[in-house]
Amino acid sequence: MKNKKIILVVLIVILLILTCTIASTYAVIINVTNKNGILEIVNKITIKDLLINDNGTYNSTYYNVINTLDITDNEASTLMESESLNEKLQIVLNTVVDYKINNNVTAKLSNDEIYNLIVDGINNTNNITEELKNKVITKSSEYINDVSDFLYDIEVSLLEDY
């Protein structure tokens, strides 16, 4: 009888620990996947964050971009630090999240819309040379399909899937 009681208590404790952990995890998932949670995360992300590894080195996407645009590291730095471009990035990221996680097909921006955001971002960037401006605008027009594919085809798995 005593042994049975001990087994029951152990079982209850295990269930309690698991249930509390699941509840805590679920609370995080709810927080992160609601509109405010997504906004909170997306509004923190900058172009530089996406292109730099944790050890401070640039990732392969950075080098692909500068090779495609045929720009120097300094010019890339100007683009990465552009407040206007970062604001446009956040607009795009919100649509990517909406499209991929909420399965909202209407959220996906068209190539023209993405292109217009880039042009607007570039035109509102301070301390940018006309040459760099023209390079980005010209190349964006050429590669807009690739940009759109890159943004909307990145594999994003919902946390709940795990």
Partner 1 sequence: MIYLIILILFLIIILFLTVKNKIKALKIISISSISAGILTIIVGYIFKYIILNVTHEVNLSIISNTILSKFIKNSLILISIGFLELLSTKIIKS
Contact letters for partner 1, residues 81-100 (x by CB under 8 A): --------------------
Total chain residues near partner 1 (CB under 8 A): 42
Q: Which residues pair with 52 in a beta bridge?
A: 58
Question: What backbone torsions phi and psi does residue 10 show, to the nearest 5 degrees?
Answer: -60, -45
User: Please, are residues 70 and 78 in contact by the beta-carbon 8 Å criterion?
Assistant: no
In angstroms, rounded to a whole number, what is the distance separating the alpha carbons of residues 17 and 126?
54
Q: Contact between 102 and partner 1 (CB under 8 A)?
A: no
In angstroms, rounded to a whole number, what is the distance separating the alpha carbons of residues 32 and 158?
11
C-beta closer to partner 1: residue 142 or 150:
150
Residues in 116-155 at the binding interface with partner 1, rule: CB under 8 A: 150, 154-155
Residues in 1-40 at the binding interface with partner 1, rule: CB under 8 A: 5, 8-9, 12-13, 15-28, 30-32, 40
